[in-house]
């Protein structure tokens, strides 16, 4: 096998998205982990001291999952999760918004509510103490439960955490916790996208109505409907109606694989042209 291009999933999604739609300016991954990439004007990159590319543009792989700031709203649950993780102090933004961690944050909140307010009775369910036993797909299924008695919530609590005989009031509290954690993550993810658009000057109302497309990939965005809807609504809220009317988030299913193949093919052609 001959390797002609080595790209991560975010760059692949950006390449595939741009090939399909020339208005794509950024790519975001919201799945187990999270990252973003965008197309920047090369002369706006202070770190770059080499020759400028002929196009005048350069792709920036942000690795935004590692962003940390005093403005990020870290709770005691986030701080404990980070301290007990394999990479303490790193990937702070990712630990707030990605599919790897949302279910675990919910578990930690439910454990605290059980310890301090006997949410599931006097005894703490043993499985509730196991880190990462409650995964984000479980959380999503409970959050999307529309049945009158919240039977899916009851079933997941029983099957995943071994908690039986919960009341409707308790199940509603569980859904409320899922709602808070998911919507916080979605709103923070929207803030990240807004930051990219602001850097590109695509957040300003004006007569120049250029279309702005963000290629999105990842199971969290694709399958967690309340999360994706909250993200889109928050971005609209931050941009305002005039600007948001020209901003499109386009799901690029397996965009990373397609983009990587396109880059490999393009690089092969480039090498042939040089010979």
Per-residue pLDDT of 88-145, as tens digits, reads 999 999 999 999 999 999 999 999 999 999 999 999 999 999 999 999 999 999 999 9
**Do 169 and 187 form a contact (C-beta atoms < 8 A)?**
no
- CA 31 – CA 13 distance, rounded (Å): 13
Residue carrying the six token digits 């300016």 = 25
Is pLDDT at 203 greater than 70 in this prediction?
yes
In a domain, 196, yes or no: no
What are residue 217's phi and psi, to 5 degrees? -135, 155
Same domain, 90 and 177: yes
- What is the domain extent for residue 137? 76-183
Residue 89, domain member (yes or no): yes
Q: Is residue 195 part of a domain?
A: no
Q: Is residue 189 in some structural domain?
A: no
Residue 225's pLDDT is 98
Distance CA 270, CA 173 (A): 58
Strand 57-61: give its sheet, edge to edge: 57-61, 34-41, 24-30, 212-217, 247-251
Give the pLDDT confidence score for residue 258 in this predicted structure. Answer: 86
Claim to verify: residue 106 and residue 160 sit in the same structural domain: yes
Provide DSSP, the chain.
--------HHHHHHHHHHHH-TTEEEEEEESSSEEEEEEEEGGG-TT--SPPPTTSEEEEE--GGG---TTS---HHHHHHHHTSSSTTS-HHHHHHSTTTHHHHHHHHHHHHHHHH-TT-SSPPGGGGSTT-S-HHHHHHHHT--STT-HHHHHHHHHHH---S--HHHHHHHHHHHHHHHHHHHHHHHHHHHHHHHHTTTTS-SS----EEEEEE-HHHHH-HHHHHHHHHHHHHHH-HHHHTTEEEEE-TTHHHHHHHHHHHHHHHHHHHH-
pLDDT over 60 at 207, yes or no: no
pLDDT for 255-269, tens place per residue?
Answer: 778 888 888 888 777
191 within domain boundaries? no
Q: Which of 22-31, 72-81, 204-213 has the lowest mean pLDDT?
A: 204-213
Residue 262 lies in a domain: yes
pTM confidence score? 0.93
Beta carbons of 11 and 19 less than 8 angstroms apart:
no
Residue 134: exposed, middle, or buried by beta-carbon count in 10 A (0-12, 13-18, 19+)? buried
Number of domains in the chain: 2
Last residue of a domain, one of 183, 218, 241: 183
* Residues 154 and 233 reside in one and the same domain: no
Which pLDDT value is given to residue 17?
Answer: 93
Q: Name the residue with tokens 């889109």.
A: 232
Mark whether 91 and 175 lie in a shared domain. yes
pLDDT of residue 274 exceeding 70, the answer is no
**If you average pLDDT over every residue of the chain, what do you get?**
93
Beta carbons within 10 angstroms of residue 89's beta carbon: 10
List pLDDT tens digits, range 163-192: 999 999 999 999 999 999 999 999 999 999
At 73, the pLDDT band (50, 70, 90 cuts) reads: confident
Q: How confident is residue 208, by pLDDT bands cut at 50, 70 and 90?
A: low
Q: In terms of domains, do 61 and 90 share one?
A: no
Q: Are residues 91 and 177 in the same domain?
A: yes
Question: What confidence tens digit (pLDDT) does each residue in 25-58 have?
Answer: 999 999 999 999 999 999 899 988 888 888 899 9
Cβ–Cβ < 8 Å for 217, 35: no
Q: Are residues 85 and 167 in the same domain?
A: yes
DSSP string, 229-241: HHHHHHHHHHH-H
**Residue 188 within a domain:** no
pLDDT of 13 over the 60 cut: yes
**Distance from C-alpha of 208 to C-alpha of 206, rounded to nearest angstrom:** 6
At which of 144, 164, 183 does a domain end? 183
Q: How far apart are the first and last CA of the chain?
A: 21
Looking at the structure, tell me whether residues 95 and 178 fall in a common domain: yes
CATH number of domain containing 53: 3.40.367.20
């Amino acid at each position: 096998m001959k390797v002609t291009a080595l790209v991560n999933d975010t760059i692949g999604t950006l390449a595939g998205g741009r090939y399909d739609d020339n208005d794509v300016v950024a790519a975001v991954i919201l799945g187990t982990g999270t990252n973003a990439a965008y197309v920047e004007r090369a002369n706006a990159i202070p770190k770059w001291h080499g020759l400028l590319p002929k196009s005048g543009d350069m792709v920036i792989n942000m690795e935004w999952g590692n962003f940390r700031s005093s403005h990020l709203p870290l709770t005691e649950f986030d701080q404990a999760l980070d301290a007990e993780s394999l990479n303490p102090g790193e990937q702070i933004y990712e630990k707030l918004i990605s599919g790897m961690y949302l279910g675990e944050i919910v578990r930690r909140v439910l454990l605290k509510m059980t310890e301090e307010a006997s949410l599931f009775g006097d005894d703490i369910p043993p499985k509730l103490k196991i880190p990462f036993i409650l995964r984000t797909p479980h959380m999503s299924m409970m959050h999307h439960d529309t049945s009158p008695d919240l039977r899916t919530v009851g079933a997941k609590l029983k099957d995943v955490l071994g908690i039986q005989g919960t009341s409707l009031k308790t199940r509603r509290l569980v859904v409320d916790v899922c709602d808070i954690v998911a919507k916080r993550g979605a709103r923070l993810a929207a803030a990240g996208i807004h930051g990219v658009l602001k850097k590109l000057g695509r957040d300003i109302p004006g007569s120049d109505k250029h279309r702005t497309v963000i290629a999105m990939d990842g199971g969290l965005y694709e399958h967690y409907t309340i999360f994706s809807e909250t993200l889109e609504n928050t971005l609209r809220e931050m941009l305002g109606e005039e600007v948001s009317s020209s901003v499109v988030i386009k799901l690029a299913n397996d965009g990373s694989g397609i983009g990587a193949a396109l880059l490999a093919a393009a690089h092969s052609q480039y090498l042939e042209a040089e010979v």
